[in-house]
Structure 1
Amino acid sequence: MSSWRDLVRDTLIDLDCESPRGGPFTGYLSSRDLLETRFVQVAAVGHRASSHGRRISKYDREHIHLSVLEAGKVKIFQGDREVSLQPGDIAIFDAAKPYHFVIETSFVQTVVRVHREDLAKRLPNIHDFTARRIPGGKGAGRIASTHIREVYNQLDDISPENARMVQRNLLDIVACAVSDPEPRLSPMFREHQHLLLQRIMWFVEENLFNDDLTCESVARAVGISERYLRKLCSTCGYSLSERILNRRLEEASQRLSYANAVKAPITSIAYDCGFKDTAHFSRAFKAKFGMTPRDFRNCSA
């Protein structure tokens, strides 16, 4: 297990790995690159793996990971989200934030590490899609899942002249699958909802640190009723208030993780991230990350 941890760290990301049952551990890992995009195929017996805030490096913050499950069952926990993957499914998780894998049985998966900026150009509200399951059984999800595996299998035969185009096409297909609207809705309504949600999330990101940001102010800014705003956001699996709170806490955790964060008082960080009440900030932070802001900063130092 110690050798496995070292191999995963050197190839992909620094994780704590443990076998809940103890006993012998077996695993296989292979990595290959397509320009700046890294493909890592992982096969192992059941175990658990965790990424902790104190181990997240500046390099990790530059990346988003895509996981394509090929065999077995995997659960991913990140923030307040939980996703269970079946073979063929895809999940996106943010390497800049703590996450936890639970694998009860032997599994095979392909992990694709991409630059955050490259995917964010195609998905401006990338935060909405992390730790979400993209079904790989049909539609755009199946196309993306199959395409990722085929690109990995053909990496040795992709010429340098075509590498950049293949990389761009891969990210375009993934973005298409990730943002694919709900199929049960009419095409016109799906498109309207999708564009409206994009406007809402863009406004939230632009005004995230404004302590007057509320559902009412967002609804007024995009020209819809507050009731419809809440209904629209509920289709994403969370309320807008939860989205605002979680994004502010995520930003605060990143600022607390910075090397020079010790110079900034925790109270200042709370106010800068849009919190009016430092006591509320501390309670919400501990509920999300399992420790106080001060303990989190000490662990990240």
Structure 2
Amino acid sequence: MSASFFDSPAHLSGGPLTPRMRAEMPFELVGPRLQAVCGNFTPVPMPRQQTVSGGIEVRRAGGVDVALIGQNLQRVHRDAQAIRRDDREHFFLVFQDHGGALMCQGAQQIAVQAGDIVLIDSARPSEFVYDGASSQQVSVHLPRADMLARFGPTLQGGVCVRRGDALGFAMRAILARLLDSGQSDDAHLVEAFLGVFGSVLVERARQAPALLSRNAGEGVLRRAMDHVALQFHDPAFHAGELARHLGVSPRLLQRAFEALGVSPSRHILDTRLAAARAALDAAARQGGPAPAIAQVAYDCGFNDLSFFYREFRKRYGVPPGRLALGPLTH
């Protein structure tokens, strides 16, 4: 009897997809390498970190790119400005292979460990937190337009498949065969992989609130989060304006955001705070004169400076001026 792609001993035992990468990279090379492989992402080092342990490489398998990324950074993030500058759009299906991470997209924060899988949408802001611990991920790059055409509005960033899930097991086994083969004509394996992933989406759709069905406004949450990522910097932008843009009632918009456990207004505020922190972090890393806090606040959509100071401190535990001394490590 011929072997199947479920016969890999590593996956029968729950082992990793790839060996741990242990190369030493100067930190200044990590950003350009990440951009070449994944698009516009900003790496953030730990305090006084000058080298990064791991590696960044890309393989072509079955007509799709598969990135192997190992590092011990503080975090990596992608904001709305980076999205606008990037002409590549993908869904990243990220397999946590060694170590762990906190994968954040919108208001979702998903703690993953080895064996977990999470879907990230490159068209929405995201942040991956490692806090200096060694972490290695295998990221399957799925062209966004193709995936939306195939799966429709059921496809949203933040889908997580936990280690031990039967469908996740099947996806890992197929990906292992793709990585082992490395043949460009393995399209049948990619089809099998996407077929199993489609089954994951069907399960999630059955579990989703009725508001994500066709009768309740398909894709309201995804479209809302996309629009917030593009408009948060406008101080006049608010939840009412978001509802008008989407053509839905404020009540339906409120119900859509219940899936994330936040209100639309809270999500807009959190997006603005995250953008302000990213701007202050970047300025602190570059050295030179400290940025004007007021200007950063206004650029991120705040028109009340005292409100910005108060909410920033509540969210991050320090005043925004603290970041002039160096990036936060949490």
TM category, shorter: 0.5 to 0.7
Cα distance, 1:185–1:110 mapped onto 2, change above 3 Å? closer
Specify which of 203, 208, 212 is matched with residue 232 of structure 2: 208
Is residue 2:24 matched to residue 1:6? yes
The more displaced of 76-85 and 27-36 is 27-36
1:32 CA displacement: 5.2
Specify which of 60, 66, 72 is matched with residue 34 of structure 1: 60
Is residue 2:306 matched to residue 1:276? no
**Which whole-Å CA distance do the structure 2 matches of 1:193 and 1:86 have between them?**
34
Give the equivalent residue in structure 1 for 2:205: 182
Contact 2:102 2:110 in 1 (8 A): yes
**Which whole-Å CA distance do the structure 2 matches of 1:69 and 1:53 have between them?**
15
Contact 1:252 1:270 in 2 (8 A): yes
Contact 2:44 2:74 in 1 (8 A): yes
Contact 1:210 1:274 in 2 (8 A): yes
Whichever residue aligns with residue 34 of structure 1, its letter is R
Cα distance, 1:195–1:15 mapped onto 2, change above 3 Å? same
Specify which of 238, 246, 267 is matched with residue 270 of structure 2: 246
Specify which of 320, 324, 328 is matched with residue 293 of structure 1: 320
**Which whole-Å CA distance do the structure 2 matches of 1:203 and 1:67 have between them?**
24
1:131-210 matches, within 5 Å, as 133-135=160-162, 137=165, 144-155=171-182, 158-159=183-184, 162=185, 181-184=204-207, 190-191=213-214, 193-210=217-234
**Which whole-Å CA distance do the structure 2 matches of 1:34 and 1:215 have between them?**
42
RMSD after superposition: 5.4
SS in 2 for 1:129: coil
**Which whole-Å CA distance do the structure 2 matches of 1:198 and 1:87 have between them?**
27
SS in 1 for 2:67: strand
What number of residue pairs does the alignment pair up? 266
Give the equivalent residue in structure 2 for 1:20: none
Q: Deviations over 1:36-71 (max 9, x none)?
A: 9453387xxxxx9551579xxx99x97997542468
SS in 2 for 1:275: coil
Q: Deviations over 1:158-214 (max 9, x none)?
A: 14xx59x79997997899689765323599953454422233234323432222322
Contact 1:77 1:101 in 2 (8 A): no
Give the equivalent residue in structure 1 for 2:11: none
**Which whole-Å CA distance do the structure 2 matches of 1:69 and 1:298 have between them?**
33
Contact 1:134 1:177 in 2 (8 A): no
Give the equivalent residue in structure 1 for 2:10: none
Contact 2:46 2:132 in 1 (8 A): no
- For structure 2, the residue ranges without an aligned partner over 5 or more in a row are 1-20, 35-42, 48-52
Cα distance, 1:276–1:92 mapped onto 2, change above 3 Å? same
Whichever residue aligns with residue 6 of structure 1, its letter is E
Contact 2:58 2:67 in 1 (8 A): yes
Give the equivalent residue in structure 1 for 2:259: 235
**Which whole-Å CA distance do the structure 2 matches of 1:276 and 1:14 have between them?**
28
SS in 2 for 1:267: helix
Give the equivalent residue in structure 2 for 1:91: 118
Contact 1:66 1:112 in 2 (8 A): yes
SS in 2 for 1:296: helix
Specify which of 141, 150, 157 is matched with residue 129 of structure 1: 157
Q: Deviations over 1:123-143 (max 9, x none)?
A: 7x9xx736x63346256x666
Cα distance, 1:265–1:74 mapped onto 2, change above 3 Å? closer
Contact 1:50 1:98 in 2 (8 A): no
Whichever residue aligns with residue 129 of structure 1, its letter is G
Give the equivalent residue in structure 2 for 1:24: none
Give the equivalent residue in structure 2 for 1:100: 130
SS in 2 for 1:221: helix
**Which whole-Å CA distance do the structure 2 matches of 1:7 and 1:166 have between them?**
36
Q: Deviations over 1:196-244 (max 9, x none)?
A: 2233234323432222322223223333332221111111343322321
1:87 CA displacement: 6.0
Give the equivalent residue in structure 1 for 2:7: none
1:90 CA displacement: 0.7
Contact 1:208 1:248 in 2 (8 A): yes
Q: Deviations over 1:231-265 (max 9, x none)?
A: 11111343322321122123223333155995852
- For structure 1, the residue ranges without an aligned partner over 5 or more in a row are 18-26, 43-47
**Which whole-Å CA distance do the structure 1 matches of 2:138 and 2:305 have between them?**
39
Specify which of 68, 87, 94 is matched with residue 95 of structure 2: 68
Give the equivalent residue in structure 2 for 1:21: none
